[in-house]
Amino acid sequence: MKKRTIILGLMASMVMTTGCTNQGTGVMGNSVNLSSSTDEAQEQVQVNSDDKIVYANHDIYIDSNVDEVLDELGEPAFANTDSEIEFYTYNNAEIEMHVFDDGNSRDIWEMHIMSNKVSTNRGIKSGDSKDAVLEKYGKPDEESHDANGDTYTYDFDGYKLSFVTDDNNESVQRFFITNEEIDSKIQ
């Protein structure tokens, strides 16, 4: 029991150190919320590990500060900031970021990924097989089917991760992460 407590304490310390620093490799969001229970902290780290994408050695979280993400990604190929929903597109639509501006704050609403150069935290990217998604993420919480392909959606605490397959339902065309708090404000 004592050995387990020491190991869990060390893991929590590593998470706190990692989650509180930005060493130029990514935009750190508020994705790690350590609670008083080490078991809950360990579960929170596991749950929140899927709310980011990895792009050009940068970790971008769905709850990251919009301005920090824009600075990190650089000049977008296209930007539309004329309404409360802003659109930013990078590198021939590899990444499309939707931002909600309610006048009080600007928050990332969704990140759409259409490139095999961008992956989820578990390594899934456009072009990967549907079977790879199911192997890494398990049975989806939601499925929808239409003539253009299928969508597999996984619910996490505060966000959803969706994979859209091609019309043959063989490979991932794109995936997107949705911030549910912002989504509920828009709906």
The total domain count for the chain is 1
Domain that holds residue 163: 2-186
Higher pLDDT, 59 or 178: 178
Whether the pTM exceeds 0.85: the reply is: no
In which band, very low, low, confident or very high, does the pLDDT at 49 lie, cut at 50, 70 and 90? low
Task: Work out the percent of the chain whose per-residue pLDDT is above 70.
Answer: 74
Q: Which of 148, 142, 153, 143 minimizes the C-alpha distance to 166?
A: 148
For 130-167, write each residue's pLDDT tens digit. Answer: 999 999 999 999 999 988 889 999 999 899 999 999 88
